[in-house]
Amino acid sequence: MPNIKIFSGRSHLDLSQKIADRLGLELGKVVTKKFSNQETCVEIGESVRGEDVYIVQSGCGEVNDSLMELLIMINACKIASASRVTAVIPCFPYARQDKKDKSRAPISAKLVANMLSIAGADHIITMDLHASQIQGFFDIPVDNLYAEPTVLKWIRENISEWKNCTIVSPDAGGAKRVTSIADQLNVDFALIHKERKKANEVDCMVLVGDVNDRAAILVDDMADTCGTICLAADKLLSAGATRVYAILTHGIFSGPAISRINTACFEAVVVTNTIPQEDNMKHCSKIRVIDISMILAEAIRRTHNGESVSYLFSHVPL
């Protein structure tokens, strides 16, 4: 493909390399370093004049550093006369701060959207936004891709009793995602209603639906400290589920998450590689990873060639 350059930030080099390999391209030369006062410095090591530039950077690890690095890289390419700069952000940072849910709460996802636009991004490619209204925070095109086709494929290939399972949402917010998967598998779905006293702490849970003598598959877009899904797994077992799986798009796994998964009753906790999972897999044998690099690579190829991206909403590229 002519006139295309792919650069990678430091947050997820492995995913960037897989995307570049899939497209038959070399990752562009970029040097990122920090000065002694912790300021980020980026040097783009090759010409981008007139090129269609894609910068892959996930919002994970040191989130603020990753975000700042992405903004500087976008700006560096833009002022070096790149014809178009697309930010490929598999896991969008600050996506949970998407509404004013209490007095004086910031809408930080909107702030991040403004920063990306001001830095010079012409287009955003992301995956499974925590709330789809974040697309409306931008005045530039946003392609929100879905991990759902790869999740369906994994369920059919790896869960032998998938025809007799119940897809479960650990909270009311994920009901739409769960019903879509349940409809395509032609199985039942259930919902867990939770009440929180404060952030990251769940007070009580109520199961709505039937999981008795069935495999239960918890599906959510992200898991951070894993308190919710571990409590949900216990609730499902006590309600008669034979096995419990968890399938998550973004496995953030901060704080006590890994120790909670190790002691919980999961058969497997399945995540995509929007966030690096190598270290987590060393400390937890239950974690399985679905590769989504082919979806992002195909989205880049279709965007570059001016083709429709909507095919990827329901199909896994070969």
**What domains appear along the chain, each with residue ranges and CATH number?**
4-145 (3.40.50.2020), 148-290 (3.40.50.2020)
Give the start-end residues of each E strand in 37-187: 40-44, 52-56, 84-89, 123-127, 142-145, 165-169
For 198, the token pair is 């404060």
User: 166: number of CA atoms within 13 Å, CB side?
Assistant: 27
State the pLDDT at residue 173: 83
State the pLDDT at residue 195: 72
For 174, the token pair is 């994920």
The CA angle 153-157-161, to the nearest 5 degrees, is: 115
Q: Report the run of H or E that residue 213 belongs to, with start and end.
A: none
State the pLDDT at residue 194: 74
pLDDT in tens, the chain (318 residues): 789 999 999 999 999 999 999 999 999 999 999 999 999 999 999 999 999 999 999 999 899 999 999 999 999 999 999 999 999 999 999 999 999 988 999 999 999 999 999 999 999 999 999 998 999 999 999 999 999 999 999 999 999 999 999 999 998 888 999 999 999 999 999 999 877 667 766 667 889 999 999 999 999 999 999 988 999 999 999 999 999 999 999 999 999 999 999 999 999 999 999 999 999 999 999 999 999 999 999 999 999 999 999 999 999 998
State the pLDDT at residue 8: 97
State the pLDDT at residue 285: 94
State the pLDDT at residue 193: 86
The CA angle 90-151-125, to the nearest 5 degrees, is: 20
In the three-class reduction of DSSP (H, G, I as helix; E, B as strand; rest coil), residue 293 is classed as helix
- Amino acid letter for position 186: N
Q: What is the CA radius of gyration of the chain?
A: 20
CB 236 within 8 A of CB 120: no
